[in-house]
Structures are given as C-alpha cells and as structure tokens.
Amino acid sequence: MKITISGIVGSGKSTVSKMVAKKLGLQNFSVGGIMRQMAIERGVSLQELTEIAKHDKEIDFELDKRQRDLNNNEDFVMDSRLGFYFIPDSFKVFLRVDLQEAAKRIYGDNRSEENYADVEECLSFLKKRVESENIRYKKFYNIEFPSEESFDLIIDTTNKMPEEVVDEILKSVPKKGHYKNKS
C-alpha cells in the first residue's frame, strides 16, 4: 500500500503522514525533509533554497529524482506536494488549509530552519513560497497545483486536529489494490 499526502506547507502533511504510517505499520517519507536535507547539503536555509529553485531547475529535478527513487519501496506513506504525480499508483490524499491558519501553525512550530519575526512575516513568506512552487510545477510538469481532481480524498484541516484527519484517511483507504491513476 502506497499513500501520498499532499497539501501546502502548514496543512499538516508531515504530522498526519507520520501518524498514518505509525497506525498502519508502514515506513514514512517526507519530501519536505528531503528538501531540508538538500538545503543543508548546499549550506543554505530552506527559504534561500526556495528562492534559488525559482531560477535553478536542477534543484527541483534532484528533489524529483530522490522522490521517484522512493517508489521502489512497496509499502509506505509519503508527505509530498507532488507525490500524487510521482507515485501514480498511490492512494492520493490532499489536505486543504486556510493560509492564515497554515502560517500560525508554521510560526508556532518554531522550525529551526525557518525563522520569522511574527505570524504575518510567516504568512508573507508562505504566500511567496506557494506562488513560487505553483510557477515551477506549471513550468516543469504542466501541473496546476492543487488540482483537486487528481486526488482520491480531500480533507480541509483548517479546524481539525491531526487525529481527526488521520481517522478520516484510515476510514477511506481501500484495503487492497491499486488506486486510480489520476495524475
């Protein structure tokens, strides 16, 4: 069983994917974690890598390669905005969230590689990041993100606790087989 969980930053992808993987006894992968690792390898912050990626397509291609390589695993849960695209035989989940709520979550997480003076600065960066990613996804893959029709399940996480989201996913995941190739 392969499950890909998508959504913008702050939607709960990482938290929810870890919880789903644990409940199902599956390995968990995080493309955000891969991107953070790439930033460390290059000696830059995540914000800086995001800005560099606007003009350096090799960053996206390296991230994509690392993500595609994960498809060699048989059973896993992965949080990735483009997991639905790179892992077409997965059960595809999209987590929708209000941008203001996403900014509050990110700011409240005190992520060591992301430093913001306040929620508003975080929201400003979040808007730029979403815009940058959408431009790159359109340019490199001809994908309108999020294209919600590409997903098997869509959940709005704005006013939900992670446990509620996990329960919805677990109730919706088919027990066997492959899923629609909607990408």
Residue 12 burial (10 A CB sphere; 0-12, 13-18, 19+): buried
Structural domain including 31 reads 2-169
| Count of structural domains, the chain | 1
Which strands form 76-79's sheet, in the order they lie side by side?
Answer: 27-30, 76-79, 2-7, 91-96, 153-156
Residue 42, in any domain of the structure: yes
**CA atoms of 179 and 181, how far apart (whole Å):** 6
Residue 182, in any domain of the structure: no
Residue 149 burial (10 A CB sphere; 0-12, 13-18, 19+): exposed
Give the pLDDT of residue 45: 86
Residue 141, in any domain of the structure: yes
Residue 183, in any domain of the structure: no
The residue ranges of the chain whose pLDDT is under 70 are 110-114, 176-183
Residue 146, in any domain of the structure: yes
**CA atoms of 3 and 182, how far apart (whole Å):** 14
Give the pLDDT of residue 183: 39
What pTM did the predictor assign? 0.82
Residue 177, in any domain of the structure: no
Residue 163, in any domain of the structure: yes
Give the pLDDT of residue 64: 86
Q: Summarize pLDDT for 127-173 with one digit per residue, the tens.
A: 988 888 888 788 888 988 777 888 999 999 999 999 999 999 999 99
CATH label of the domain that carries residue 82: 3.40.50.300
46: phi then psi, degrees, rounded to nearest 5: -60, -40
Residue 26, in any domain of the structure: yes
**CA atoms of 81 and 74, how far apart (whole Å):** 20
